[in-house]
Structure 1
Amino acid sequence: MDSLYDYIAKKLAEEVTKRGVVIWYDAGTEFAPFIAELRGGPRTGEAVPVTLYGKVVRLAEYAGSMFEVRFAVEPYVREDSPEPAVIYLPGCDRDTGGSVLMELERAGMHWEPRLAQLAKELLLKRHTIGVVDSMVAADRRLSYEDFRKIAADEGAGSASVLKSIFARSHGDDTVLADWLADDSRDSEIAGKSATGELIALVQSWLGLRLPGDGHPSKLRSITLRYVLAGEFRADLSCASPPALDGVPVPPTPDADRAVRELAVLLRSGHAQVYPALADLVERELGLSSAAIPAEALGTIDTFRFEERVLLKHCGDLVADGRFEAALTLVSQRADCYWLHVDVARKAQWEAIRRMAELGQVAIRVGAEIKAANGDVGAWFGRYTAAGGWHRLDQAQRRLEAWITELDDVQEQPLAVVRRAYEDTCHRMADRFTKALAGSGWAVPRALHQTRVFSEVVASQPKPVAYLLVDAMRFEMGLELAERLPDKSEVSVRPAVGALPSITPVGMAALQPGAAASFSLADKGGRLGAQIDGTFLADRAARGRFAKARIPDLVDLALNDVLSLPVSRLTKKVEGAQVVIVRSQEIDHAGENGFAFHARQVMDTVIDNLARAIRRLANAGIRHAVVTADHGHLFFATDRDESMRIDAPGGDTVDLHRRCWVGRGGANPPGTVRISAATLGYTSDLDLVFPAGAGVFKAGGDLAFHHGGPSLQELVIPVVTVRAPAPVEASSATAPVAVEGAPNEVTNRIFTVTLALGGQHQLLPEVAEEVVVRPVLIADGQQVGVVGMVVDAKFDVAAQRVRLEPGQRCTLAFRLVDDAVGSLRIVVQDPETDAELYRSPSDIPVRLGVS
């Protein structure tokens, strides 16, 4: 069998089949023996029929006259159904300008193969590139007959031993990757005397000369350093560090390209072992201590230390106030290999991203505050508008909630953005308070808190749920709206809270009758509100008052709505016209000095409110109004001494860190005094507030404050919801598969893998994407949220993950309630609340156990 002849004939037949006419230029007459064998007789000057790989083709050969060749073939190619033809031109270079065969070339194609290249292609089917290169080295002048003998193994030896050892590897690059990643075949390579072939392969493929007497394990170490250092060096935008001086540089562009491609193949094809291989080379070369500027590191991240250097650099950018540059860098590194290896590292990048976002918003809002005039309505509008100043508070809340779960946070950039936030809040509070005072302590045309019941709740179709959330800021109400099903009819409007912005006043202002008669009062030295002569100082008094004025009222705690089975909840609210749902979680955590816990709680309160609205809809209460008694200021730490103000003294009825209520006393510097009568109250009391974001020396070490007239404290959300009718979960609803769930939760952040299951998994090409809401549930309440998602789109505000068919993604859950003993992972359909997945059993929570 003449394998070389057959291979060339096959290649030529493929070209003829594609284009019909092939003009074959053979400048070195290398293929003359092949043509003679193909012709099978003497040349005649005619276009003779030949059999080419089982197909009849006309063959015309050049013998000094291009016109002769053209005339010979024209009768066969100018017909309506032209015959396939090969025009062989030995000793001719192609003339791209005025060849008499140009028309034929345009109708067909020109072909300029090299004998050595075709021979190599054939030989590589049986041998590695190193062996083939030694057979057909450039300095060997081999003829067609020589190549034919080599291909027939006449003097060429047997087929590749290395390929037989790596029988499952496809291609020489895969052989090298499999060898570098796994030492289990070393003894077989040495025992079968394939080391020389391996050395030849490395040299031919990568351009690296290995010692001829090395064991495969030693050769592996040298080659691995060469490959990873080569990729790393090529990705740098600065001079190589001295640590790489002992590692050869790929000698040619082809070798450099092969080195890069092999490094990529190691990461993609051997993901389980690549981190250990890279860490080994990093230690051997001492790269983690090399003085390499972070800006000079490329985009590939060959080694683990690169990601850590770049994260530190990103933190430095934030600390320097270069927030846009930091956000750009975070975005560029989102798909860094090492962040897929260690999702906990991605949490660090997410922390930096949130820091940079807060810093960026603080700069923008600060500039707008500086340019703002004294129109209190304009201040109110700028804070509550879409994309308005409330985004500053939202960015701060998201950052503070996120970093509570991290053991290691870059302190300097965090301190910078916290200071930026606090300074911006202070300037905002100071100037807004002045604008508010200048307008007579009223915001024209704005909905006042005392009119929420009469103008909003009373006008809703019955039954209606009235959710009263203690200390929910305006921005949290907006986020709540985003977490409700898309089919819900939702509106959010701002309202101005009653002063002082404390619970006894704000909750009373939300009662029926407050629009007609509302005042501040004290009874026996106790501060409260008064409606129609009724003094309301606490929740019990407000509850009795509401029940007396609202027919068929049902009063529930948020926990009741979340924990009761739907059947019992339905019975509980049956016949009700108004269902009051009380939530005190935010204020309770903040007021009791649990700043760390309060940050954790805030996100889950939003989710639990959304969950409660959906459960109430399933129980027959499809209309809801959600509002708050007041908002809050919440800083990372307690106010320092420069922000602490002496209390006014005098006859003190009530003292909070952000307000004083009483009679007489002094006006400490940095405060503003207002009489209760000026606020429209029938009272002789005075109120004193810090003008900015300062606090009275009222005891305690709270970072959570309310009571004052800042936008964050005074502006409350009024969320009106018409939930869609309950929908039975369809049997066709896409199931999801959750893998990698922990046997027990020992860290607040843990990961699972999520993918579509069922038909979506079996037939991904015809399936559609599915949007899901993954949560952590304990005793009916949400106790954790998704913090990050890798390899899928994630809407952080709505807490929705968009799953693509055939794609797996990694979820990083964030547990926010340390007190739970166990939990379950639940994946819901956000439109119907149907459960697409629930952990088959409770997962114990043992934080701090590893």
Structure 2
Amino acid sequence: MTTSFGPVSAFLEQKLLSTLSDKKLVVWLDVEGHYTGFVDALRLRAQAKQFPVPVLAFRDSFLELMLALEHEGSTIDKPLLLVHLPGYNNLPAQQSPSSVRGTPLLELYESAHPFQQNLASLVSAAANGRRTLPDIEAFVAAPGLTLAAADVWLAESGAPTVDTHVEWISRLSAPELLNQLTGTEAANLQGVESALRARAETLFGTDGPWFATLPELTESVVAWLLCVEFVHDLRRPPRHLDLARLKDLPPQTVQRCQQEATRLRQQQPERYRTWALGVELWLRDKEDTEPKDLGRIDTFQFEALTIYRGAVQALAAGEYAQALHWVEAHEASQGFWVKQEPPRQWAWTLVGDAARLGVALLGAPRPLERVTGLEEAVQRYTEAAAPVDLAHRHFEQRHAALYGPLLPELTALNLAFEKLRFAWADWADVLARDFARVCREHGALPPPELQQRSLFDQAVLPLLGTGEKVALFVLDALRFEMALELRDELLGSGVQVDLRARLAELPTVTAVGMNALPPIERDGRLTPLVKDGRFTGFRTGEGTVTRPDDRVKVMGSRTAGKAPLQLPLAEVGQTSVARLKKRVEQAQLIVVHGLDIDQAGEADFGVRVFGGIIRDIVAARHQLELAGVQQFVFTSDHGFLLQRGVRTQGFGARGQADRRYVFSDMERTDAGHLCVPLASLHYEAPGFLVFREDTAEYDVGRAPGSFTHGGNSLQERVIPVLHVSRKRAAADTGLRFAIECEPASAAMGVQRLLVRVSPAKRSGQAPLEFASSQPVDVVMRVAGNTDVRMVVKDVTGADAVAQPGGFRLRPGTSEWAEVYFVLEGAVNDRLAVELALAGDLSVKASPPTTYPVSYVPATRKEPEAPEPAPAAPLALAQKAPPA
């Protein structure tokens, strides 16, 4: 027997099926008994296998119902079952004689999902989108509402009309109606305008007063959609009288309006912009508001501006968590208005990084408070303070790439950034003073397991004992927080990483840290070479260690058989795997020297390239792994301080002090300074090292840069020891990629380039219908000119992410990523650019054009210390005490 339901009953049936699918066992409390006839018909359909769920109903006999329930299984197992209880509610039994809690079905009810359905709400929901809202409200408000009458009434809305155009329009879905309105000239809509209005009233809830305010049909409907979205995203009641009634629209209507507003933004962005700006002129005076009143969707431009100003103001006020909240809300909303103006997107990115730094500062206000030893100080730094320095570097890197005169609210932005930098500087000073206190109380030399001089014997030599090939990356100025980023970049399937920290030898200069890395200590003691107050290396036995060759030679003396292979970092990345394999097969220890971080920092453009250098290190490790190297250790000679507006302080005669330390032949007790005897460092030499307790520099006769080292701060002293290995040897997957690029016109003084990466098809290979699930890194550089820097500002496209000196994107998509970049250098020229895969620099591409270089004056470079002759005697400068 087949029972056909009307439209409201069919809507109810689907709602029941959805609930049963989710909850399994459902008890329907039909207080008014409105649905008895519907349920009886549903029982007949279930018996005829036309309804997929068994249906039981109470019909004046609990005994009969209880017996029927025994055949449906235990309520513990929650069988798929619908039980209809007309006339019963879920009130406490003492309050209502009709409570289900006073019936034999209490146990069933408590194990089931209760279902109740108000008839007026059901009819309103079923009719939404098929009848106008006034018609629905009038019908459900009339006396004698029944389900059967509602089925008849709603079925009449689908009855054919005389005018076929009107009939066709009355059946349009929301997207179809909007497509007709926005895709047809207004003059061609005049003949059916009344039908289109009626359909808009049915689908979107528009009404006569709204059309009277905005007579043009398409603009009126679009304005309605945008205002509905705005009102229901607002966190306060709307102030505009014409918007107040929009709060009372049914949820289905609201959702339909929101979906179509979103579709308009995505599919017709230029027209959406015009429509939204027009509506904004009409409502902005009354609806302009505080950021806290706005939601997550920027329907109108003034919302995006208000949220951005609020985030900048919060940043300037030190309310970093609030600023970050707005940034994250903006990121989640994929703001339409921000995407229309790249500088506004860059500003949001900067505010986000600044807010993250501020939150990190608040989360670790004084990491070394009450610390009682060097071991604890190092642990607290690596756990609590290093993430702050990482956030600080990320912010400065982003600032160097994105800051410029086109950023909105530039004055307010500058003020916020200046206050943030002062906050970081104060935090760094407190950290440095607290560490100086720890050194004064417990000495500046840590136990052997934290000493730089014992690193080779304790961290490298045991790996060589396994017989596997070991690559030791000795990276000048790789500070600990950089190793945090490097570790995260290296994490992957089958890769094991172990990051630990040690304290660099003092002073934290290259000549000390680099030359202390090989195993030159004797009984834990070192013999430094000092000339005119400057350290140049160490003596070991009858020789000296002052150069890379010296260091590798000493390391080789601890390895049996094959001499170590020495490779520059840049060479590793640019050498093919096949050639590398031949070079490393005769060596067990491969020493990779990298000077890029220190050189870029001393040239004062480090923040523009630090991120790219870290990816170069990742690529070099990958190349060596494919060449057969199994174990990797990454370490450095010292860290550095990254500052702006560095203070300089005099100390004695000019030239006596280095930037961050002073060598003295006598003990000093100057206020604000830490005096460390060389003997306390287990140096076989007389004299003292004097350090400032804060992060300021000594006056050395030239303007300070943003990059400095030599002192005793934890940023300068804590160095990483990152051990990386893989359970199984890495294999070449055979998957190759090709880079495509096309030039695009410049915008706002910024160059543009279209890029995509695709799997490369080899000869005879079937078409590749898949791409790597992992994103790939692409580096951008200036071909053949190392004095000109590539600054990547932004990249747009699916899953595309900008990185210093390049970007990351997912290969295999047919869509182009759009890269914004500039070239900077002390030249007036146009130069070609080159793109290459970070994991395989042999995969290259170059656009068929050249790009102008933005002139940036060359900055200072730290002069290299002279290399002493190998057999030179130990020379300790005797200097007059400073005045």
Q: State whether TM-score is above 0.5.
A: yes
Counterpart of 1:619 in structure 2 is 627
Which amino acid in structure 1 is aligned with residue 697 of structure 2? V
Residue 451, structure 1, aligned to residue 454, structure 2: yes
Sort the Cα spacing of 1:285 and 1:113 in 2 relative to 1 into closer, same or farther, 3 A.
Answer: closer
Q: In 2 relative to 1, CA 474–110 (structure 1 residues): closer, same or farther, beyond 3 Å?
A: closer
Q: Which moved more, 1:478-487 or 1:774-783?
A: 774-783
The amino acid that maps onto 1:177 is: L
Partners of 1:488 and 1:354 in 2: how far apart? 29
Deviations 1:304-333 (A, max 9, x none): 331232122123223222233333333334
SS for the counterpart of 2:310 is helix
Give, in whole Å, the separation in 2 of the partners of 1:660 and 1:123: 81
| C-alpha contact 2:663 2:690 (8 A) present in aligned 1 | yes
Aligned to 1:383, which of 367, 381, 384? 381
Cα distance in 2 between the residues matched to 1:611 and 1:262 = 49
2:623 maps to a residue whose letter is R
1:470/1:6 CA distance change after superposition, 3 Å: closer
How far is the alpha carbon of 1:419 from its aligned partner?
1.8
1:634 aligned to which of 642, 649, 652: 642
Cα 1:556–1:433, aligned 2, differ >3 Å: closer, same or farther? same
Q: Is the 8 A contact 2:796 2:818 kept in 1?
A: yes
Find 1:689's aligned residue among 683, 688, 691: 691
For the residue of structure 1 that corresponds to 2:573, the secondary structure is helix
1:365-764 superposed matches below 5 A:
365-369=364-368, 371-384=369-382, 387-407=383-403, 408=407, 410-461=413-464, 462-486=468-492, 487-514=494-521, 518-523=526-531, 527-532=535-540, 533-539=542-548, 552-592=563-603, 594=604, 597-635=605-643, 637-639=644-646, 643-649=647-653, 652=656, 655-663=657-665, 669-698=671-700, 699-723=702-726, 725-730=728-733, 747=750
Task: Name the residue aligned to 2:362.
Answer: 363
Residue range with higher mean Cα deviation, 249-258 or 427-436? 249-258
- 5+ long unaligned stretches in structure 2: 21-29, 51-58, 72-85, 90-96, 110-114, 762-766, 826-830, 855-883
Of 295, 310, 325, which residue of structure 1 is paired with 2:307?
Answer: 310
The equivalent residue for 2:268 is: 273
Q: Which amino acid letter does the alignment assign opposite residue 510 of structure 1?
A: L
Q: Which has the larger radius of gyration?
A: 1
Sequence identity (%): 20
Q: Is the 8 A contact 2:169 2:196 kept in 1?
A: no
State the 1:604 CA deviation.
Answer: 1.9
Aligned to 2:498, the other structure's residue is in SS state strand
Q: Distance in 2 between matches of 1:524 and 1:839?
A: 49
**Displacement, 1:374?**
4.0
SS in 1 for 2:389: helix
Q: Distance in 1 between matches of 2:687 and 2:224?
A: 81
Q: CA contact under 8 A between 1:744 and 1:845: conserved in structure 2?
A: no
The alignment's TM-score, normalised by the length of structure 2, stands at: 0.69
The answer (yes or no) to whether the contact 1:737–1:757 under 8 Å persists in 2 is yes
Structure 2 CA distance for aligned equivalents of residues 278 and 447 of structure 1: 65
Q: Structure 1 pair 845/674, CA: closer, same or farther in 2 (3 Å)?
A: farther
CA distance in 2, matches of 1:250, 1:818: 56
1:372-412 superposed Cα distances (whole Å, 9 cap, x missing partner)? 2443332122113xx33211111111222222222337223
Partner Cα separation in structure 2 for residue 331 and residue 111 of structure 1: 39
Letter in 2 for 1:295: K
Q: After TM superposition, list the pairs within 5 Å mapping 1:100-111 onto structure 2.
A: none
Kindly provide the amino acid, as one letter, of the partner of residue 588 in structure 1. Answer: Q
Q: What is the TM-score with the length of structure 1 in the denominator?
A: 0.71
Alpha-carbon distance in 2 for matches of 1:13, 1:334:
38
- SS of structure 2 residue aligned to 1:684: coil
1:656 counterpart SS class: coil
Deviations 1:612-645 (A, max 9, x none): 112112122222221111001111x131xxx421
Distance 1:222 1:839, change over 3 A: farther
Give the counterpart letter for 2:633 in structure 1: V
In the TM superposition, residue 294 of structure 1 has moved relative to its aligned partner by 1.0
From the superposition, tell whether residues 669 and 543 of structure 1 become closer, same or farther in structure 2 (CA, over 3 Å).
Answer: same
For 1:174, the equivalent position in structure 2 comes to: 175
Q: Is the 8 A contact 1:552 1:578 kept in 2?
A: yes
CA distance in 1, matches of 2:592, 2:428: 31
SS in 2 for 1:600: helix
What is the identity, as a one-letter code, of the residue corresponding to 2:268? V
Equivalent in the alignment of 1:36: none
Q: Which residue of 2 aligns with 1:351?
A: 350
Displacement of 1:771:
3.9
Provide the rounded CA distance (Å) in 2 between the counterparts of 1:355 and 1:712: 20
SS in 1 for 2:179: helix
Assess if the C-alpha contact under 8 Å between 2:741 and 2:846 holds in 1. no
- The residue number in structure 2 matching 1:301 is 298
Given the alignment of the two structures, is residue 232 of structure 1 paired with residue 230 of structure 2, yes or no? yes
Counting matched residue pairs gives: 752
Measured after TM superposition, the shift of residue 216 of structure 1 is: 10
Deviation string, structure 1 residues 224-261 (Cα, Å, up to 9, x no partner): 333323432343333535xx45x454378346863553
Q: 1:807 to 1:425 in 2, by over 3 A?
A: same
Change in Cα spacing, 1:686 to 1:111, as seen in structure 2 (3 Å) is: closer
Q: Following TM superposition, by how much is the alpha carbon of 1:460 offset from its aligned partner in structure 2, in angstroms?
A: 2.0
Is residue 756–residue 803 contact of structure 1 (8 Å, CA) maintained in 2? no
Deviates more, 1:475-484 or 1:547-556: 547-556
What letter matches 1:223 in structure 2? V
**Counterparts of 1:6 and 1:544, CA distance in 2:** 92
Secondary structure class of the residue paired with 1:630: coil
Residue 813 of structure 1: how far off its partner (Å): 7.0
CA–CA distance in 1 between the matches of 2:419 and 2:507?
Answer: 31
Residue in 2 that maps onto 1:85: none
**Which residue identity lines up with residue 305 of structure 2 in the other structure?**
R
